[in-house]
Amino acid sequence: MSKARTSLTRTSLVHLALIGYAIISVFPVFLTLINSMKDRNAIFRNPMQLPTPETFDLVGYTTVLGQGDFATYFQNSFIVTVASIALVLLFGAMAAFALSEYRFRGNTLMGLYLAIGIMIPIRLGTVAILQGMVATGLVNTLTALVLVYTAQGIPLAVFILSEFMRTVSDDLKNAGRIDGLSEYAIFFRLVLPLVRPAMATVAVFTMIPIWNDLWFPLILAPSEATKTVTLGSQIFIGQFVTNWNAVLAALSLAILPVLILYFIFSRQLIRGITSGAVK
């Protein structure tokens, strides 16, 4: 009896702690979202209150959408992220297949070479990357960003995907070979469909740092036409520091796509992490 009671108190304490921390995690985001829909007076007089019919005001959003070119920023971020993920997945899967499927001289060496990028951040090469982009005329193009993010994403993609490809049955591939499939057909038609869950995990892991990156857009593509949404909101908010409605609305606009994607992919993401894909 007493044992049951202590375990009950323990469980409630655990819930209390977890609820407390969950509130700490979500509260700032929540606060930003509710205040972005209030008028200026209400933001300051009563920051904790939900927007009421009297205080409801979308002036921040109209300012943001009227002034900043957020549609372009979103489009840029979208193009860069999708193109980079596609290239990371294609190139990463091809390399992972070569490394996990064939024995050849230099296999281990190539694996280690590609693994360097998991630990060493690509940012350290910025000085020479900018130089190279200037020399090839790619500064202020989205191509520059796509190239950098592809290179950044490949190491982890190769690492995760080759672990998964090793689990694809050899019998299946050999049956394909006997049926006269080329090695390319085996890769594209047999192996790729089987590692689709791993590809999804890699896609989510690749996406987050690309979408959120500030450093490379700031250095490689700061022009108005190529700003990503992260850089765009950084600069926009910097200009409107005193216009709290606009700042809160811009923040909310930047949060929303992440929130939506998170609710769609959170299962995939959390399963990816906890299944030991990144260890």
Task: Write out the binding residues for another protein, residues 30-49 only, by CB under 8 A.
Answer: 31-32, 43-44, 47-48
The CB-of-89 to another protein minimum distance in angstroms stands at 11
Asked if residue 70 binds another protein (CB under 8 A), the reply is no
- As given in the structure block, the two tokens for residue 102 are 């064939």
- Our finding on whether 4 is near another protein (CB under 8 A) is no
By CB under 8 A, residue 14 contacts another protein = yes
Q: How far is the CB of 56 from another protein (least distance, A)?
A: 19
The strand pairing partners of 56, in sequence order, are: 38
> Letter for the amino acid at 76?
N
Angle at CA of residue 252, ends 248 and 256, nearest 5°: 180
Q: How far is the CB of 196 from another protein (least distance, A)?
A: 18
Q: What is the C-alpha to C-alpha distance for residues 160 and 153, in angstroms, rounded to an integer?
A: 11
Pick the closer one to another protein by CB: 134 or 225.
Answer: 134
Is residue 147 a contact point for another protein (CB under 8 A)?
yes
List C-alpha distances in Å: 19 to 16, 23, 263: 5, 6, 19
Which of 49, 37, 12, 55 has the alpha carbon at shortest distance from 248?
Answer: 37
Residue 155 in contact with residue 119, Cβ under 8 Å? no
In the three-class reduction of DSSP (H, G, I as helix; E, B as strand; rest coil), residue 56 is classed as strand
Site for another protein in 74-133 (CB under 8 A): 87, 90-92, 94-95, 97-104, 107-108, 110-117, 119-129, 131-132
Between CA 63 and CA 237 the distance in angstroms is 12
Q: Is 12 in the site for another protein (CB under 8 A)?
A: no
Stretch that binds another protein, among 51-59, 63-71, 193-201, 243-251 (CB under 8 A): 243-251
- Considering only residues 42, 64, 80, 148, which one is a binding residue for another protein as defined by CB under 8 A? 148
CA distance 20 to 89: 39
Assess 247 for contact with another protein (CB under 8 A): yes
What is the footprint of another protein within residues 168-227 (CB under 8 A)? 170, 182-184, 187, 208, 211-215, 219
